[in-house]
A and B are shown apart, each in its own frame.
Chain A
Amino acid sequence: QVTLKESGPVLVKPTETLTLTCTVSGFSLSNARMGVSWIRQPPGKALEWLAHIFSNDEKSYSTSLKSRLTISKDTSKSQVVLTMTNMDPVDTATYYCARDKVVTPYVFDYWGQGTLVTVSS
């Protein structure tokens, strides 16, 4: 059974750095056919793709947020970590991690439940 679960702070202050962890089970991050993305959704708004990491450690980022994002993985812990610097109230959103497969890259077949992050002083 494939599951993904996001964890991290509920509240961050403006200018702080956000660190989110996605813990996966039911598949391995070393599996050459799998990848994981982070996607966010401000309250009542649309989805926005942020970053992706492949099993070979190749990474890709949203052009508009690239300077603020870092994605990494710890295969032994089955975790994918996203850091976002210089947080702002407009970054308030539910942050999801989601899985895709090499045969259909960026098609997200499994999603975590999401974690709401509020940016406020």
Chain B
Amino acid sequence: EIVLTQSPGTLSLSPGERATLSCRASQSVSSSYLAWYQQKPGQAPRLLIYGASSRATGIPDRFSGSGSGTDFTLTISRLEPEDFAVYYCQQYGSSPTFGQGTKVEIK
């Protein structure tokens, strides 16, 4: 099973700032089968990024993904008030697994 470790656990930022979230895999994720989800309290997760860097339908271009192998990054270029949430990475190259999440909170 591929273990995903996300860092930091919590990111305290102000609206308008840049957010950089990290996801590290315990072994190489084949074909960059890495996705990112956003989850707000009381809601289901929302798909943001798949294939490490492809934005899902309707996702604003301030969200971008990068990386390959074992190291992946989600960047939010300028935080909007609605972006404060928990973000999960997920690998789907083998039996799917999720990271433990990064909370982006208002500073």
Chain A interface (Cβ within 8 Å of chain B)? 37, 45-49, 60, 62-64, 96, 98, 104-109, 111-114
Chain B, interface residues (CB within 8 Å), range: 20 to 34
Q: With the chains together, A22 CA to B45 CA distance in Å? A: 17
B98 touches A47 (CB 8 A): yes
- 26 of the cross-chain contacts (CB-CB < 8 Å) are A37-B96, A45-B100, A47-B45, A47-B88, A48-B98, A49-B96, A60-B95, A62-B95, A63-B95, A64-B1, A96-B44, A98-B44, A104-B50, A104-B51, A106-B33, A106-B90, A106-B92, A107-B47, A107-B50, A107-B92, A108-B35, A108-B37, A108-B45, A109-B47, A109-B56, A111-B46
Chain B interface (Cβ within 8 Å of chain A)? 1, 33, 35, 37, 44-47, 50-51, 56-57, 88, 90, 92, 95-101
B100 touches A107 (CB 8 A): no
Question: Could you tell me the dominant secondary structure of chain A's interface residues?
Answer: loop
Q: What residues of B have a CB within 8 angstroms of the CB of A106 in the complex?
A: 33, 90, 92, 96
Question: Could you tell me the dominant secondary structure of chain B's interface residues?
Answer: loop
Q: What residues of B have a CB within 8 angstroms of the CB of A108 in the complex?
A: 35, 37, 45, 47
Q: What residues of A have a CB within 8 angstroms of the CB of B97 in the complex?
A: 49
Q: With the chains together, A96 CA to B57 CA distance in Å? A: 21
Q: With the chains together, A105 CA to B96 CA distance in Å? A: 10
A46-B88, A63-B1, A105-B92 in contact; A113/B44 too (CB < 8 A)?
yes
- A sample of 10 more A-B contacts (CB under 8 A), given A45-B100, A49-B96, is A46-B88, A46-B101, A48-B98, A62-B95, A98-B44, A106-B90, A108-B35, A109-B57, A111-B44, A114-B44
